[in-house]
Amino acid sequence: MTPKHQPGRAPILRVARPPLRGLLNLPNLLTLLRLFLVPVFLGFVSRHEYTCALYVFALAALTDSLDGTVARWFHSKTELGAFLDPFADKLMLLSAFIALTFEHVMPSWVLGVVIIRDVVIVVGYFMISFVTGERIPVRPSYAGKASTFFQLSCIIGALIRLEGSYPREWRMLLYAMVAVTAVSGMHYVYRGLVWLFYREPQMFEQ
């Protein structure tokens, strides 16, 4: 039955609420758990409880691996997850690098490389989206996945060692991470330029 419209009153429009199950499926819940673990991790680091911080970070890294796998297995990929997952990854990694740098566990120059790479990618993404008026698909490259793996390894290694000296194996891991991070940043810039070339070719004409 259609509700009667009373004179002098605007009709009440009822907007259907999206089902909670559709918004918070299992992959998105795992991603939200990773976001929740960030302040927990930072709290343990600030109290110098590095063993607990290691366990929390390892759990966060596990959810990072599981959410994508679960989404593929159960065909439950969503636009929300496509943006929430990389945001949670970057928040966790950057928080860890910043916290460990301030605790003098991680060299400061490593933090600089990680931040510069992420700033270049984010600013480039928004600039290209603004110029083209289109949204670039968020798809991690193999270089980006390798960069994430090495960054996770460096943070876990830093939480395990925690002495003032930097042994040779540790330095090699850091150098490898920095190299892969730089290469992945350049690769994302290249992908962005290719996208811009096909959308706005006149920008590349002399």
Half-sphere exposure of 98 (CA within 13 A, CB side): 11
> Is residue 166 one of the residues assigned to a domain?
yes
Confidence of residue 11 (pLDDT cuts 50, 70, 90): low
Could you tell me which residue, 87 or 93, shows the higher pLDDT? 93
Tens digits of residue pLDDT in 19-60: 545 556 777 788 888 899 999 999 999 898 888 999 999 998
Assessment of whether the complete model's pTM goes beyond 0.75: yes
Asked whether residue 5 is assigned to any structural domain, the reply reads no
Q: Give the structural domain span for 178.
A: 23-199
Q: Does residue 2 fall inside a structural domain?
A: no
Q: Comparing 36-40, 63-67, 100-104, 186-190, which segment has the lowest mean pLDDT?
A: 63-67
Q: Put residue 48 in one of left, alpha, beta given phi > 0 → left and psi -120 to 50 → alpha.
A: left
Q: Is residue 12 part of a domain?
A: no
Q: What is the pLDDT of residue 181?
A: 93
Residue 64 belongs to a domain: yes
CA distances, 83 to each of 36, 67, 79, 185 (Å): 16, 13, 7, 18
Please report, for the domain that includes residue 35, its CATH number.
1.20.120.1760
Specify if 47 maps to a domain.
Answer: yes
32 falls within a domain:
yes
Question: What's the domain count of the chain?
Answer: 1
Tens-place pLDDT, residues 168-206: 777 888 899 999 999 999 998 998 888 888 887 887 776
User: In the chain, what percentage of residues exceed pLDDT 70?
Assistant: 76
Report yes or no on 3 lying in a domain: no
